[in-house]
Amino acid sequence: MLAATKQRYDLFVKFFAAGMFKNATQAAIDAKYSKATARAIACRLLANVYIKAKIAKLKAELAEKLGVTAERVIGEMVKVGFTNMEDFTQDSDDGLTLKDLAGIGRDNMAAVESIKITTTTERDGKGKPTRTHRTTQFKLYSKLNALDSLGKHLGIFEKDNVQRALRLNLG
């Protein structure tokens, strides 16, 4: 490979990585390839063995630096997918109430997308506070998305598709 070609490939990889490996067309433009043909060039570059290897190496280095492993990612999907609102609520005289968040474990808290606490005060005719209400809005990340991703990773749906295909062929 010519040194100039390698330099240009490296420049493309640098820009592609800077864009979080999402926009190859823009990376090609940034690497001074023609805007008019950037999409086609980006597609060709992504198929290049040298570039594939450089991208794989950068991704592996990034994952190692950040401590991202398949086990950790799957573990987070499991936390979201199998956490239940009952882990956060309890029955009380006032009905269903939120448990003390200090007592909820880190694993369950990983499934929480947001908590919004609103306090309102009722006042009498003279503007004096008479009663305070506290409302807590609590939202978990999507179980469906987490379980779908987990199922795809584990190949659960592929097995189901094979079984479905077998039934279609027999029936």
Domains of the chain: 3-66 (1.10.10), 69-171 (no CATH)
- pLDDT, residue 21, reads 84
Residue with tokens 């795809």: 152
Average pLDDT, the chain: 87
The pLDDT tens digits of the residues spanning 68-97 come to 888 998 999 999 999 988 888 888 887 888
For the cut 90, the answer to whether the pLDDT of residue 158 exceeds it is: no
Give the chain's radius of gyration (CA, Å).
26
pLDDT-derived band at 166, boundaries 50, 70, 90:
low
> Can you tell me the distance from the alpha carbon of 113 to that of 141, in angstroms, rounded to the nearest whole number?
5
- Is pLDDT of 39 > 90? yes
Indicate if the pLDDT at residue 167 is higher than 80: no
Instruction: 146-152: list long-range contacts, CB under 8 Å, 24+ apart.
Output: 146/77, 146/78, 146/80, 146/81, 147/77, 147/81, 149/77, 150/74, 150/77, 150/78, 150/81
8 Å CB contact between 112 and 122: no
Cβ atoms within 10 A of the Cβ of 159, count?
Answer: 11
Report the predicted TM-score, pTM, of the whole model to 2 decimal places. 0.60
Enumerate the β-bridge partners of residue 117. 136
Q: How confident is residue 22, by pLDDT bands cut at 50, 70 and 90? A: confident
Residue type, 5: T
CB atoms within 10 A of CB 32: 11
Per residue in 116-132, pLDDT tens?
A: 999 999 988 888 988 89
Determine contact, residues 99/90, Cβ cutoff 8 Å. Answer: yes
